Each structure stands twice: as C-alpha cells, then as structure tokens.
Amino acid sequence: MRWARLFVDVESRLAAQIVEEERLAAWEYAEAEMAQLDVADRLRAHVDESVVVVTCAGTRISGVVRHVGADYAAVEEGPRDWLIPLVRVGWFQASASAREPRGGVSARLGLLHALRALARDRQSVRVATVDGGAVGGRLVRVGRDHVDVAGPRGVVTVATAAIDCLASAS
C-alpha cells in the first residue's frame, strides 16, 4: 500500500516536472524567435493597419502602413504619403496586435528603389532632414548616397544619410 502511494507521488512529480520543462522550452523558443525580429519585421506585421511613428528627429506620423521595404516604411497619412528610412524610426505604436509579418520580393527592395520610382514619376516631395531642416521640390535624381531635389531656388543635393523622412507634396 505504501509503495503504491509512493509511485503515484513520484509519477505526479515527474508529470509536473515535464509540464514545467515544456512550458520553459516554449518560452525560450518564443524569446529566441523574438530576438530575430527587427523593426522592419515588426512594421510588416502591421501592413494596412494604423500606426503612429515618431522619427529620430521628432516628426510624428499617424497613418496606415502601406508597405515595408528592406530599409524603409511607406505610411499613408490622409492625403499625404510618407517614406521613412527604418534607421530613422525612433519608435512606433500600432493600433492592433501584431500578426505574422508579410514578406515577398518587394520587401527586399530598398529606399533607393522607392526614391528612384518617385523620381521617374517626377513627384514633388518634402524631404525632412535629421537636423530639423526641410527641402521641398521635385525629386529629379537619385544617386548611390544622395537625392537631388529641384526647388524654386535651384537643385539641392541631400545625402540619403541625412534624410529623416520624405513626404508627398500634397
């Protein structure tokens, strides 16, 4: 009789230990997966959802994430569209819980690809710079590390490293 109780006790302890080890393994797995995510992945999980993004220079953008490339996010804020280099995202807050990030070929395209598309389309933009300045005009050229913006006082060259964010002129 005593042995029967002893074996039941050992079995219940072993079962509890197994449950705890499985719980711990699941937690460690989730933590390891989270450690692999970057800001692009986090924003991709909110495509077509409302977010508030604040850039490192303090520009606050409240809108809907439309696309996330390799190193930029496209956010629609009412009539205005924004391109935000991911290195300039200070923080963001989403209105919904994150879901599985979306990928695809376009997720591998970088900021320069997006800027070249805007230049080909002869889009007017407002380029906000990290020093708090801004340059407005038509995006005319995109180099390896700069953009040329044609404004009322001529062409201004802006280093891409100095771009805080870029907005459509409308």
Q: What is the mean pLDDT of residues 106-128?
A: 90
Confidence (pLDDT) at 102: 61
Residues 4 and 51 in one domain: no
Residues 31 and 48 in one domain: no
Longest CA pairwise span in the chain (Å): 97
Confidence (pLDDT) at 118: 94
Residues 32 and 60 in one domain: no
Q: How far is Cα 83 from Cα 169, in angstroms, rounded to an integer?
A: 12
Work out the angle at residue 52's Cα, subtended by the Cα atoms of residues 89 and 145, and round it to the nearest 5 degrees. 30
For the whole model, what pTM was predicted?
A: 0.77
* Cβ count near 27 (within 10 Å): 10
What is the four-CA torsion angle of 146, 150, 152, 155, rounded to 10 degrees?
A: 60
Spatial CB neighbours of 170, under 8 Å, sequence gap ≥ 6? 79, 80, 124
> Residue 161's pLDDT band (boundaries 50, 70, 90)?
very high
Residues 18 and 70 in one domain: no
Nearest alpha carbon to residue 41 among 75, 81, 69, 83 = 69
Residues 26 and 57 in one domain: no
Which two three-digit tokens encode residue 168? 């459509």
Domain containing residue 147: CATH number: 2.30.30.600
Per-residue pLDDT tens digits for 22-64: 777 777 766 666 666 789 999 999 999 999 999 999 999 999 9
Confidence (pLDDT) at 85: 98
Residues 135 and 164 in one domain: yes
Residues 99 and 149 in one domain: yes
Q: What is the DSSP string of 81-113?
A: EEEEEGGGEEEEEESS---PPP-SGGGG--HHH
What is the number of domains present in the chain? 2
Which amino acid type is present at position 170?
A: S
Residues 77 and 22 in one domain: no
Residues 29 and 48 in one domain: no
> Residue 21's pLDDT band (boundaries 50, 70, 90)?
confident
Residues 84 and 98 in one domain: yes
Per-residue pLDDT tens digits for 63-109: 999 999 999 999 999 999 999 999 999 999 998 776 665 666 556 78
Q: How far is Cα 164 from Cα 87, in angstroms, rounded to an integer?
A: 9
Beta strand 50-55 with 163-168 is unpaired
Which residues, listed in sequence order, are joined to residue 158 by a DSSP beta bridge? 147
Residues 132 and 155 in one domain: yes
Residues 20 and 44 in one domain: no
Residue 164, domain extent: 39-168
Q: What is the mean pLDDT of residues 118-147?
A: 96
Spatial CB neighbours of 142, under 8 Å, sequence gap ≥ 6? 112, 115, 116, 119, 148
